[in-house]
Amino acid sequence: MYATRIRHVARKSRQVDDIPFSDPLLTSTRSSHGTTVSMSSLTTLNELIAGSMGGAAQVLVGQPLDTVKTRAQIAPKGMFKGPMDILMQTVRKEGFFALYKGMASPLLGIAGVNSLLFASYGASRRIISPFPLTLPEIALAGSMAGAANAILASPVEMFKVRMQGQYGDKSDKRLRVVAREMWKEWGFRKGVMRGYWVTVAREIPAYAGFYTAYEFSKRKFASKYGDQIPVWALLASGATGGIAYWLSCYPLDVIKSRIQLRETPPTGTPVQYIAREVKMILAESGAAGLFRGLSPCLLRSIPAAASTFAAFEITREWLTKVTGV
């Protein structure tokens, strides 16, 4: 059975995989080509590769329920009776593989998104302290990683949402057509990066909750199993993190999806157009409108987050054995 090394919880215990080395410019390893590589840089590279594997696992496992979630958020009121109706209508009218509509964008981009996320989180941890972090410090590191992650997550999700918002008509467009039209009509800032500031606002609390819940759960298992945790416990910790992610930010995700689907970009400052969107949702559906699609989202988050963390941790452990850092 695969297992992963767990960092000790004690604040004063120093572990090699928690410490970025006192001077990364002086502490280095020599490659087979004779070039000197910073061990800190090699650690970051390991996290980038492991993050790519985690991202691919997340997309493949979670895309069908993500489509249900997104359609619940963006569909006109009365179009569907609920998540199960969305699922049944999508399969009946568009075929089973319509549940994977929009997958090309995250599949192409999620490796970069998750690589940036995990690398940013690792770097944030090392910036905050060379010692194992407390849970509040983990929340801070997670929020820093989330803010950095938004720059890639925003365009990836914008294209995904616009693909998922097509309901099987003859006029449906492929990803390359959607991307070309957004660029041609609106350019980079108002087209490709539409919804960026809402994504930032979502990612900061989301990843604070995500990593805090994940590390809390992992440490509870570590108190029982010691330095090695079985994969099932790692999956449970990942699922806990995934649920915490969405509970920390879901209304902002609804707002983001609606803004990214619109034919025209939002006007005014981010605070103004977010507030305007909230007022529109409340007028249309009441407070419940801010949580449309939450049930399939939470259901999706369990296998998606679990597979993400399992793939990340197993890949990182293997890379640690291979590279020695």
Of residues 274, 117, 268, the one with CA closest to residue 203: 117
If one looks up domain 37-323 in CATH, what number appears? Answer: 1.50.40.10
Segment 152-185, tens digit of pLDDT: 999 999 999 999 999 887 678 889 999 999 999 9
Q: Mean per-residue pLDDT for 115-119? A: 84
Segment 213-227, tens digit of pLDDT: 999 999 999 999 987
State residue 5 phi and psi, 5-degree precision: -70, 140
Helix H or strand E segment including 230:
strand 228-230
Quote the pLDDT of residue 34.
Answer: 45
Beta-carbon contacts of 8 under 8 Å, excluding residues fewer than 6 positions away, are 15, 132, 222, 227
CA–CA dist 143, 309 (Å, integer) = 18
Q: What is the DSSP string of 260-296?
A: HHSSS---S-HHHHHHHHHHHHHHHH-GGGGGTTHHH
Q: Mean per-residue pLDDT for 20-41? A: 46
Of residues 101, 93, 97, the one with CA closest to residue 69: 101
Q: Mean per-residue pLDDT for 55-70? A: 90
Quote the pLDDT of residue 29.
Answer: 42
Q: Mean per-residue pLDDT for 81-100? A: 92
CA–CA dist 245, 240 (Å, integer) = 9
Q: Where are the domains of the chain?
A: 37-323
Q: Mean per-residue pLDDT for 277-301? A: 94
Q: Residue 288: is its pLDDT beyond 90? A: yes
Radius of gyration of the chain (CA): 21
